[in-house]
Structure 1
């Protein structure tokens, strides 16, 4: 190593060219290293900007989801208070869980004081609203105290909701502003880095200039001294003083030694020396000429370097974005710099006339677009070749100049591979005209621009196809999930995410064990569903496999089938399709209930009729006994007829074929007659009718209304096997006539309340199974109430009794005629 270094130092001392080559290599290395550092810094800027934007976008997305969840909760609470439907109440608590989960997801993203304040405000409002306001309001509503509900809303509930909605809107706007500021900072840093790169180029140019000056000192000055010494020698002869360069080991030192040897032999060969002197002068002139040529080549290299830098900036600007407007703006800005144009415009021939301009007013741009097919641009569309024109500027383009001015315009087409014009470029400058070489250069640049525009077009078409496929995929009624060979989740449509509460992008790339655990946790039979997933993903079955499972909280029955996916002969994944078959399962259940009910309820009276008829046919009986058996047969036949009528009534009502006789009906007499009839069948119940309004008339069918209240009162008696009070209350509320039928019987379990009005539904416990019935009575009540423009609701507590409330629109009060 030491020997190599010694040889290198000796080479530098002995050769001027080696020194200059080394210095040029150092300059080139500095340029390459600086360029590499510039590119690495640019990439680092882009990565940091993308990371910051991604975090802000995630905050903004979670804020929007939080806003939607709170808004849904507000509407569900109001819906529950307006209509009293339990499904709204359940939705409120589902939204509570969703909001709680969203707040937890936002906590790791809270990196600013504003984020922490917003999370703190959101959490405080969440606790206040869902743990204080909503429970109190729901409790007041469920005990019928609507005034208390209104007081809760007036005492800060509504104001708190509105204040929080404004707070969410302000925070969302702040996130949008942060995203914009982050983008502005990113652009500024890019500009600073570009300025630094330009400064690096300037420094290199200064170094090159210093190299030239060094070359002048190392070569030109010694040669000049040689010339002076030679001139003195020519005049003085031996008295001339020769410069001392003997200590130098390079070409100058060797030249000095050679000249000294020549001086020693000058007297012997004076003529030869004069000839050599002339030759030396000629060489000096040649060196000076070479130096001049080198300076010209260096200046040309500098111009070429600047042109390449601008070209690189043009290509880089086209590659940095996929937004057509941004790309066109970058193209026209860099193209004006390359062609030294003061103004320019580029218009994409994409049907929308997307454009970008440099140095042009909005009015000038609109005038150009309106005359796109009527002016010189039409010539460009026909010839598809670049051309330049010189024109006198009109008054509105002269500005404050009062003398005639001329502009040189260059029209350049951007041609596709099919020779179609993809864009039109017009460049203008007020100095020298565009040369043919510049026009050819612009056409050449147009080819690069065409490639960039084609890439943009392909990207836009691919993005449009992707969005269309995604829309179709997300609008399917089935939930679809695609996993790879390792079970990693690769694709999940919107319906699947909606059913299983998956975030928009939280499940993308989720490992098999994690998503399997989350899905199975929702099912009633977790183990069976997990075994199904294991067999479908890692098993050897190559055919379709199907299973059904039930979700815990939603009481939804799902059917999932799995099929392997092949690309050629190689399996690359598995697709799962989840279908909501709750309605199908409910139909199957209703069929089973129908068969069970019919077989039980119809068999009992038929068995009695057959048994009594057999006794009458085969045994001689006394007339009183015969009359008693015939009366029993008649009662069983009436019971059988009533059961069949219930089936037929439900069928007609659901099919819309039930007929009604509409007339003014007073409900109180109907209810009193039903109470009188029920009193005759029991001695362990007490009955009362409370009429709290004078307006007891509605428009309806009296026979069907009798059937409705008969079912309600009879159920109250039937499901109070230990006796108790049966109370019927008639009152007016919010423009409706309401009738409450309250008992002190068995009550209804909370989980059975949403299904109490379904056909054939019976509460599944021993106390109620001992009480007969078809499960059609409340269905008939609901259909009759619906046909009369009303509705029926129930409030019940197990082992404490139930209250059924029927609401009807009041009949208009007839006006008295004077």
Structure 2
């Protein structure tokens, strides 16, 4: 032990190595402990997360199993297929297996409670609910099935589904809690690590301080003694560390002996020079004092001149960039610096430089928060650094030169560093007196920057106020008590048709005349402004005026603006009320129209009724009068129904019962009904597509078509042909209704579907109507996710175009097969053509099987019934296509499967006679086959009264 202690005492190197080794060991031990703790909380969270994920997966599987069981039960009740029935009990086993897995993964009381409830519901559903319902369904007792659903079965299922969703939500919430706990522990671990690092730094600083004290203090004594000896100080007794055994002790003892010898030799010389030195010191003191006073006077004069020039330079502008450039140039002149830079500590890091390249300025900004500059933020005091000049700075000088960089902070009133300045001066350092002067100049810079900041804030607030006013839809204006313009937004300047900068600070007569020139009733608006500005009649007094060159209507009102008790101005608000004005006019016109439309049939009803009551009439005349009364009553009923339909549509109470509907028969029925009242008109229906099936309400579509055909008849009073064209568009069917009537003016088309709107034309007016028909049509079409447009030419007729989404195979196959795709068998001996057809049908969403043989195809059909068959006549083997067709039609299970003959033989009549649904003669485009199958399957779905919900996916293969 003594040897170890001597080893450390006799060597500074051993002492330093020992301290650093101990510090490193302690540091690694602490870091290892924190790392192990961090790993432990991560592993614990991973275990818990895996448990929760397992429970969540099992819960989702349980939900899918129950949902499949519910859908299979409903599918069996809807379609009666045995596969659905068998699938129900398969799902029962899957549910039991899933519940077993959930039991194994349960860790909480809530898990046990949910498993118990799920088991009870599974037994209730599969044992008590499903068997009786299936039994009643198979017996044909559908009323018992409905009663079972109404007696609480549906409510029980919905309750369990809600409970299952709540359990899944609880698992998700537990996962979030576990994650939050992990984050909290990780945060604590990180905090502990930061504290540990801080403590270790403190220990390291303490060690460094101790080492510095042991080494630096005796070295400082030796250095101090050497300086005093060098400066010929008088002899004194030096106290060195003579007891230390290390290198410092040896050096101090040797140095002490050297001092004693030197001082002994110099002692007698000092005595001789003492008197001469005293005299010389007195003279030098007097000379130094005089020189000091002279330098102070010159420095003060120069300082005042530089300060005046500097203050004048930074006070001559409120532009931030100009002021910064002036500051850096003036400070460089004051300091005699060859280069300098100032940077504001704002978000934009506004800056200016002198004698510095653009790249150098960018480099300074990129490293502005390095350690050197941080010293300014911490101490808030200026400091200078000495460095050797770079070759680019030395120019042609070859010797070693030095540059002195001054770092100067600019402090705000709250002692916050709002800017930093850096200047470089070659040759000599910055003196303390200079630093004091530059600090004083920095205060002046701070005052100037504060003024600029206040100016910018005021300007920003003014611009914000102007931006707010410019984005208000009303025209806003502020005037003073004399009527001079103080503030105006862009809306009002656009109304006056003048630039806002031109009207700024304009006098009363100027802006008033500019506005009056735009309106119709100039005298009325002039009197209004005179009453406000001259007589002070502000408040709720409103004025409505019209613009001369447009149909726009404005309303202006005013309010006085007070600051305390003193009125400082008046605010005018100009509001565009064109739409409200048009609505008021429309309402007045509607009242007049409705009065006329209702009074006319009422007058007929009352008149003929009075005749029948007061006079004895012949039977044929009585019948004629009753017929007229009936027709007028129907007309009244139609008017009232239009009003009620519009009201229900606006309130959202209009109901639609959507089914697969073919729009062609609906339109044919409407035209057949309207023909009775149109003896002068001929009707023509043309179609360019077979895709005419939509998902919609038959009655509502019929009402829309009736209104459009009725309008076509009514607005072509001289007769003509009314053409209805069905054609195919992008994912929709397009219906064009064309007449050869009066036509519609172009300016009236944008308002044509507006409620109560009627074209302002004498020919149109005399026809009559309430202006509600097209409004109802637009609402019906848009509710069916469609669109209606109109194009017209006056005197030549109009074309109303309806676009309705077409029902595609995606909608039908999701209901029929649960989204698995429609099964198509292609019986074709040509391998290349079969590959092409298979690729086309697969792209259209069908599941396709191919066989070149008729007998093999029949075998596959027995194993799995197809939804449609594509049949060639010439096949491999002994059976031809005709044989396959006859076999399928004679088989009860396959007789209703749609068959499309695809052959090079042109024997369409024979194929259709034998029972084929369609006949395609090769060659033909493959897309035609997809469209044909789609059309046949949708037709089959409609005939079987299969109702499917509205489907958002409405893609269609061209």
Question: TM-score normalised to the size of structure 1?
Answer: 0.55
Corresponding residue to 1:815 among 917, 922, 933: 933
Residue 727 in structure 1 maps to residue 722 in structure 2 = yes
The corresponding residue for 2:224 is: none
Larger RCO of the pair (alpha carbons < 8 Å, separation 6+): 1
The corresponding residue for 1:370 is: 370
Q: How big is the shift at 1:469?
A: 1.7
The size of the alignment, in residue pairs, is: 516
Q: How big is the shift at 1:486?
A: 5.5
Deviations 1:415-463 (CA, angstroms, capped at 9, x unpaired): 4445554434344434233233322321221232122111111112212
Q: Residue 330 and residue 758 in structure 1: after superposition, are their counterparts in 2 closer, same or farther (change >3 A)?
A: same
The corresponding residue for 2:379 is: 380
Q: How big is the shift at 1:373?
A: 6.2
Contact 2:389-2:403 at 8 Å conserved across structures: no
Alignment of 1:498-513 (within 5 A): 498-499=494-495, 501-510=497-506, 512-513=508-509
The corresponding residue for 2:59 is: none
Distance 2:385 2:707 in 1: 98
Residue 438 in structure 1 maps to residue 434 in structure 2 = yes
Corresponding residue to 1:687 among 672, 682, 689: 682
Unpaired stretches in structure 1, ≥5 consecutive residues: 1-292
Deviations 1:746-779 (CA, angstroms, capped at 9, x unpaired): 4434443332221112234554443332111111
Q: How big is the shift at 1:565?
A: 4.6
Q: Residue 806 and residue 356 in structure 1: after superposition, are their counterparts in 2 closer, same or farther (change >3 A)?
A: same
The corresponding residue for 2:708 is: 712
Q: Residue 682 and residue 690 in structure 1: after superposition, are their counterparts in 2 closer, same or farther (change >3 A)?
A: closer
Q: How big is the shift at 1:483?
A: 3.5
Residue 649 in structure 1 maps to residue 645 in structure 2 = yes
Distance 1:793 1:392 in 2: 81
Distance 1:428 1:534 in 2: 68
Secondary structure at 2:503's aligned position in 1? Answer: coil
Deviations 1:1-47 (CA, angstroms, capped at 9, x unpaired): xxxxxxxxxxxxxxxxxxxxxxxxxxxxxxxxxxxxxxxxxxxxxxx
Secondary structure at 1:576's aligned position in 2? Answer: strand
Distance 1:592 1:466 in 2: 46
Deviations 1:379-405 (CA, angstroms, capped at 9, x unpaired): 632xx5x5x556455989998999876
Secondary structure at 1:634's aligned position in 2? Answer: helix
Q: Residue 681 and residue 311 in structure 1: after superposition, are their counterparts in 2 closer, same or farther (change >3 A)?
A: same
Q: How big is the shift at 1:638?
A: 2.1
Distance 1:662 1:521 in 2: 58
Corresponding residue to 2:654 among 638, 642, 658: 658
The corresponding residue for 2:749 is: 753
Residue 557 in structure 1 maps to residue 675 in structure 2 = no
Measured on the aligned residues, the alpha-carbon RMSD in Å equals 4.1
Q: How big is the shift at 1:673?
A: 3.5
Q: Residue 551 and residue 420 in structure 1: after superposition, are their counterparts in 2 closer, same or farther (change >3 A)?
A: same
Contact 2:723-2:739 at 8 Å conserved across structures: no
Distance 2:406 2:691 in 1: 90
Corresponding residue to 2:771 among 769, 775, 782: 775
The corresponding residue for 1:452 is: 448
Contact 1:756-1:778 at 8 Å conserved across structures: yes
Distance 1:651 1:688 in 2: 33
Q: Residue 432 and residue 532 in structure 1: after superposition, are their counterparts in 2 closer, same or farther (change >3 A)?
A: same
Secondary structure at 1:658's aligned position in 2? Answer: coil
Q: How big is the shift at 1:627?
A: 4.7
Q: Residue 389 and residue 574 in structure 1: after superposition, are their counterparts in 2 closer, same or farther (change >3 A)?
A: closer
Corresponding residue to 1:790 among 786, 792, 797: 786
Q: Residue 340 and residue 395 in structure 1: after superposition, are their counterparts in 2 closer, same or farther (change >3 A)?
A: closer
Residue 604 in structure 1 maps to residue 600 in structure 2 = yes
Question: TM-score normalised to the size of structure 2?
Answer: 0.47
Q: How big is the shift at 1:518?
A: 4.2
Contact 2:645-2:654 at 8 Å conserved across structures: yes
Q: Residue 343 and residue 516 in structure 1: after superposition, are their counterparts in 2 closer, same or farther (change >3 A)?
A: closer
Q: How big is the shift at 1:372?
A: 5.4
Residue 328 in structure 1 maps to residue 446 in structure 2 = no
Q: How big is the shift at 1:333?
A: 2.7
Contact 2:401-2:427 at 8 Å conserved across structures: no
Corresponding residue to 1:478 among 451, 474, 477: 474
Distance 2:521 2:589 in 1: 24
Q: Residue 615 and residue 333 in structure 1: after superposition, are their counterparts in 2 closer, same or farther (change >3 A)?
A: same
Contact 1:406-1:430 at 8 Å conserved across structures: yes
Distance 1:520 1:732 in 2: 55
Distance 1:579 1:548 in 2: 9
Distance 2:482 2:796 in 1: 56
Q: Residue 467 and residue 608 in structure 1: after superposition, are their counterparts in 2 closer, same or farther (change >3 A)?
A: same
The corresponding residue for 1:578 is: 574
Distance 1:399 1:741 in 2: 91
Alignment of 1:48-447 (within 5 A): 311=307, 314-350=310-346, 354-358=350-354, 361=360, 362-363=362-363, 366-371=366-371, 374-375=374-375, 377-378=376-377, 380-381=379-380, 384=381, 386=382, 388-389=383-384, 391=386, 393=388, 407-447=403-443
Contact 2:791-2:799 at 8 Å conserved across structures: yes
Q: Residue 572 and residue 389 in structure 1: after superposition, are their counterparts in 2 closer, same or farther (change >3 A)?
A: closer
Distance 2:306 2:711 in 1: 90
Q: Residue 308 and residue 373 in structure 1: after superposition, are their counterparts in 2 closer, same or farther (change >3 A)?
A: closer
Secondary structure at 1:442's aligned position in 2? Answer: helix
Deviations 1:204-232 (CA, angstroms, capped at 9, x unpaired): xxxxxxxxxxxxxxxxxxxxxxxxxxxxx
Q: How big is the shift at 1:580?
A: 1.9
Distance 2:636 2:442 in 1: 92
Distance 1:365 1:754 in 2: 59
Residue 536 in structure 1 maps to residue 532 in structure 2 = yes
Contact 1:672-1:689 at 8 Å conserved across structures: no
